[in-house]
Chain A
Amino acid sequence: MQAKWISKKDLQKLVAKWVKKYAVYAPVYNGKELAFQIVEKPAQIVLDDYLNTRYPAKSLILPQSEVLMKYDGILHGVENAEKEKIILGIRSCDARAMRLLDHALIDDQNPDEYWKRKRDSAIIFTLGCNEPEETCFCTAVGGSPFGTNESDGLLIDMGDAYCIYLMTEKGKVLFKDLPDADEAQLKNVKKMTKQVEKDMPALLPKQELHDALMASFETDFWKDVSQSCLGCGVCTFLCPSCFCFDIVDETVRKERVRNWDTCMFRTYSLEASGHNPRPTKAERTRQRVMHKFAYWVDLIDEIGCTGCGRCVKYCPVNIDIREIAATALQQDFEGMKK
């Protein structure tokens, strides 16, 4: 892994060059909040002292509403060409989520072309988290605030400069003329990152939690957990690793679109017959939690939650997935079974 060193000033100059050739997305204050937007001037970018954007960066690859095709008697595909883009400064939790979504949306036979096209045209540089928020728990679910295997490069804020680890060729090309970080600099980086990681929550026992949840399936645990759930889509829409969508024909505009959908809506699992296999909030909450902490583990032996903490922070009734996981680990589900 290559490590480079760049002053913050020089990074701005570099970004000024990038914006001429690429669509550069970075955290920008839009007057209401921080959000990933196309950057026109490097000075707009907010990389210092930011925690995370509330709206997840997955939307850059999987937009909330996306036109799949248009029709007016005959079908028209949508424009295929994607301008190459650089996504600068997403957090490692969000970058890890994109890698998880690759598993869900790209397989060898049937890749989701819409996702793949945008994904292939994106170069992603993560920004390490020197001061994670209190709701952050990436370390509990197998990630790190300085995760290196999630993107093309990782920037670590070292005061007036960034240390940049470059993982892929795509990443290396963009920083190629820079000096390598020297040993003393790298030692400082290691010392700082180790300390930050040490203060974060401990790793959850993945298999034990998986087994506990599997045992919980038919118990009243979910009724208790979901009692205060309102059934809105905040947790899943803001989740970087949720990817469910619904396809709708917008007949007035003659477009077929897909919109984010969520297992937390009653209508998500409602069948045409009127039957709903997840009839109450209990089954729906169970689905959300088990998808992350049990089904992903079955599929790729990784937890499907990346610990960004958005669902915890923005849930209107303070349902806390960390608390659900911790409680599940304590429960005697065999004794609870009906």
Chain B
Amino acid sequence: MASTRNIKIQTEAKRLLQEKAVDVVIGFKKGTLPYKMQPCFIHDAKEVEQLELNGLCSNNLAVYLNHRPKGEKTAIVVRGCESRVVQALVLENRHARENLYLIGVPCIGILDLQKLQADEQDPILAVEEEGDQVRVTYRSGEKTFKRIEILHDACLHCNHPQPMHADMVIDEPGYFEDQPYEKSYLDSFRKLSIEKRNARFKEEAERCIRCYACREACPMCTCEECFVNHSRPQWTDSTTNPAGQQAWHIIRAFHQAGRCVSCGACERACPMNIKMTYLTDLLNQDIFTEYGFEPGVDEALLPPFLTLGDDQVKFTDQQEDNHAG
């Protein structure tokens, strides 16, 4: 039985495709595993019934805007974080807002597979969500959680779960309310000595296998050529030695200062369960303290690091073409 939320998403998608208002609707559909959903691309109004949204939709769909052909009219199902990405990318002149149609969905949160699967050797056979409760069937038996217990950390710390700047919002309540900027979870890290902070950072970063799932899952990682791929000059150590692993995680985080929307898609994509949103959140907290800026929230305010005065250079068509590949 499709939930009323899903039916409303499907109805809107159907309308958009039938009226030819858009070429494609990006959303989620059932995956091949009981604990994963697949991003999907619906071109035909007959296929909208595939569209579903639940707590297992772990990706940030806005990442696909960077992969779509130029000029395509794209509708996209957005939760709070995804809607803020669209806003941030439009401000960075990455996308033309008039080509995008945002189907906003008040957020129901994203479940953390790591928390769901505390014992990795006990596979998950089924996940059923019912409002506040999530029932998980493991090989060893059944267990019921409160949604909040197994929510991804990024969702626990989210200040804007409601979709912003959307063209329409699905009339179904989410599970979370917006709140003023608050990242007090970072306090304990900030209070640590330099040595302890460094140890904590190393413990995470040095499990990195350089697969760049974090980069590719990140909708704000839009560079045509990533600094780690640059070979002349070579900016960073290429290996899985600590030097290379640390350099990747530090510089990746710095490139997100005042840009990261704190969706946590990077962590959820990481095959090694590396924690990294605390780094981008720390930088974002500095940006908020210094400039009062939150990425993707304001319609017109440029991010501090893009505010260069009158000589802002817009990306040329040539550069956009290169990126589309």
Contact = CB atoms under 8 A, between A and B. Distances in A.
Interface residues of B, number: 42
- Which of A230, A231, A238 has the most CB atoms of chain B within a 10 A radius of its CB? A230
Interface in B117-145: 120-121, 123, 125, 139
A281 B212 contact: no
Contact of B213 (A134, A135, A228, A233): A233
B269 A32 contact: no
Contacts of B325: 266, 276, 279-280
A108 interface: no
Contact of A316 (B41, B67, B213, B240): B213
Contact of B38 (A133, A253, A318): A318
Contacts of B63: 230
Nearest to B241: A65
Contacts of A320: 31-33
Contacts of A237: 209-211, 271
A279 B212 CA distance: 19
A174 interface: no
B237 interface: yes
Contacts of B121: 34, 49-51
Given A54-B271, A230-B216, A230-B217, A318 B32 contact: yes
Contacts of B123: 51, 133-135
A54 B240 CA distance: 17
Interface string A281-319: 100000000000000000000000000000011101111
Would you call the interface of chain A mostly helix, strand, loop, or mixed? loop
Contact of B37 (A32, A55, A318, A322): A318
Contacts, number: 119
B277 interface: no
A264 to B, nearest CB: 9
Would you call the interface of chain B mostly helix, strand, loop, or mixed? loop
A320 B239 CA distance: 28
A250 interface: yes
A32 B240 contact: no
A228 B33 CA distance: 16
Interface in A255-274: 257, 259-260, 262, 265-267
B213 A65 contact: no
Interface string B214-256: 0111000000000001000010011111001000000000000
A248 interface: yes
Given A51-B123, A233-B211, A323 B33 contact: no
Contacts of A316: 58-59, 213, 216-217, 268-269
A134 B138 CA distance: 11
Contacts of A267: 229
A106 B213 CA distance: 31
Contacts of B18: none
A250 B269 contact: no
Contacts of B210: 64, 233, 237, 259-260
Interface in A178-223: none
A276 B237 CA distance: 24
A65 B32 CA distance: 33
B148 interface: no
A29 B59 CA distance: 29
A7 interface: no
A250 B237 contact: yes
B269 A228 contact: no
B93 interface: no
B33 A318 contact: yes
- Which of A33, A232, A248, A317 has the most CB atoms of chain B within a 10 A radius of its CB? A317
Contacts of B234: 248, 251
Size bracket of the A interface: 35 or more
B209 A32 contact: no
- Which of A135, A227, A228 has the most CB atoms of chain B within a 10 A radius of its CB? A228
A232 B216 contact: yes
B70 interface: no
B239 A228 contact: no
A279 B39 CA distance: 22
A281 B58 contact: no
Given A133-B123, A267-B229, A312 B40 contact: no
A237 B213 CA distance: 11
Given A51-B121, A230-B269, A314-B271, A248 B211 contact: no
B207 interface: yes
Given A49-B121, A134-B125, A234-B271, A250 B32 contact: no
Contacts of B238: 65, 246, 248, 250, 257, 259
Given A65-B241, A251-B234, A234 B41 contact: no
B73 interface: no
B165 interface: no
A25 to B, nearest CB: 18
A317 B57 CA distance: 9
Interface string B184-217: 0000000000000000000000010111110111
Q: Nearest 4 pairs between A and B by C-beta?
A: A316-B269, A65-B239, A233-B211, A230-B216
Interface of B: 31-33, 36-41, 58-59, 63-64, 67, 120-121, 123, 125, 139, 207, 209-213, 215-217, 229, 234, 237-241, 244, 268-269, 271-273, 325
Given A230-B216, A230-B269, A316-B213, 18 more contacts: A33-B273, A34-B120, A34-B121, A64-B240, A65-B238, A133-B123, A135-B123, A232-B215, A233-B210, A237-B209, A251-B234, A252-B237, A259-B238, A265-B229, A317-B38, A318-B33, A320-B32, A323-B32
